[in-house]
Chains A and B, each alone.
Chain A
């Protein structure tokens, strides 16, 4: 499932492909089991900076390699591929599971639910590996939750970069913002054919 670039990156500008990070709603990104609250925001950056982890990266708590990252987008996107840069010494995640358009997933939910897609990851320090998605399932993604259940044996799990490849649509997923429920029906809203004249169901004249 991994796809290596068959050319060196100096000739071909890969960064434009990995530009979905611009459509991530960074204020609403959250992670569970992160050691430092808010450190998850630092993993979403441009392709060129994927190896440049100047101190800020996502790390899980001591002795617990599980990580859960919730990523909402500002508009619906189609995701073609995902790239993950982990840490050294076994702190890279070894498995990844993705859930689409689900709010408020926590660890017990993630462990019991069926993921939309799962990948076996390899240690990808250089960040040139891309994990393809089943594109048909990732057609209108408003938010994605990534669950990393295991790593390569390290005490913690470190993630330095998460990149998304694909395209952004300008649509927003339908969110029913306000629903007005009628307590009592308003007869003028419910004109039946009988009231319109004609028909046999006249009640009274």
Chain B
């Protein structure tokens, strides 16, 4: 993260009204400037950025190098387009502004956005470039907009004069569907001489590349390593649980035929419920599918009850049926489960959800093969409601079991 003071030279001449970059050249430029300022200040908190305009009535420094991003963004508002760009004067004023920076330890850099034709001679530009090199100022040139004869050549000559050890760059952006900022993100202007890029630039690049394709869980491990790790761990846990649940469901189905007992579940309270489910399953001889669903539902509920961090059992049940077919859906659900962990809501919310019978029965209705009017399902609902009052649980278990026997 190199400590740097940057001056951005903006072209606000008449040529910037053109619409070949959407919405207009000037707007694209403003977006790019905002992005660059953000990237610079984020890569090193002591970095400073300043802005000056080269056209209009004359070269005017809008804000001297500062690390206050708000000030920089504010000064971009209300800028008028007009006049002709004076590149040489702009660069020289930028050099002067950098010379008077407060922290002399900062490296000096100028970023020039050249959208209109360059009227200076090549020799003059080379002289300016040599002076910059002598005072160890780096220069980045963004060549976009107008492309008259010689403009690119002049800018390349300027770059050659300034360049000292590849610290200076030129980027040519032809008009096209891509926004100016998007094109710039992948250039060394953003990534800072191949340091590997700041987290900001990398995340912005990922976002620009279209969604979460850049990183595993839509979270940049550089930005938030703990969150990325937590997401990965819970994804693996959930996968393991789903496999276990599927295995148990298969086992239950086979054991039901044999009429054997099952010893599933993770904690003492859940053992009883699972016991209920098992005895339930044991005694049902009709409709195998429904019992499978029941067992799956029980397992899902057991899993969600076991993990107090998860406060929405609906997603668990959905996952057990849908996850196998739709990994993307599983990922989305996983993400939302993770969102749930962030909430401080605990067991109580889930109990309220379970207690809301209409809600649960609507969920059950959506499960294929489960008929809400089935007496076993109704018993299940009743037992879930009784879960919210732990004192009564044992009593309810008793009558439930008796009922089912």
Contact = CB atoms under 8 A, between A and B. Distances in A.
11 contacts: A32-B135, A32-B136, A33-B133, A36-B165, A37-B136, A66-B134, A103-B104, A106-B135, A107-B134, A107-B135, A108-B99
A32 B134 contact: yes
Nearest to A66: B134
Contacts of B134: 32-33, 61, 64, 66, 107
A104 interface: yes
Contacts of B164: 37
Chain A contact patch, size range = 10 to 19
A106 B104 CA distance: 11
B154 interface: no
B130 interface: yes
Interface of B: 99, 104, 130, 133-136, 164-165
A199 to B, nearest CB: 45
B238 to A, nearest CB: 51
A104 B136 CA distance: 12
Contacts of B104: 103-104
Nearest to A105: B104
Nearest to A64: B134
Contact of A37 (B99, B130, B135, B165): B165
A106 B99 contact: yes
Contacts of B165: 36-37
A179 to B, nearest CB: 15
B77 to A, nearest CB: 31
Interface string A53-73: 000000001001010000000
B160 to A, nearest CB: 12
Interface in A65-102: 66
A166 B114 CA distance: 53
B92 to A, nearest CB: 11
Nearest to A38: B165
Given A36-B165, A61-B130, 11 more contacts: A32-B136, A33-B133, A37-B136, A37-B164, A37-B165, A103-B104, A104-B104, A106-B99, A107-B134, A107-B135, A108-B99
Nearest to B133: A61
A42 to B, nearest CB: 17
B400 to A, nearest CB: 70
Nearest to B164: A37
A37 B107 CA distance: 13
A169 B130 CA distance: 40
**Which of B134, B136, B164 has the largest number of chain A CB atoms within 10 A?**
B134
In the A-B complex, the 8 residue pairs with the closest CB atoms: A104-B104, A33-B134, A106-B135, A103-B104, A37-B165, A32-B136, A32-B135, A107-B134
A161 B364 CA distance: 86
A55 to B, nearest CB: 18
Contacts of B136: 32, 37
Given A103-B104, A106-B99, A64 B135 contact: no
A36 B136 CA distance: 11
Nearest to B167: A37
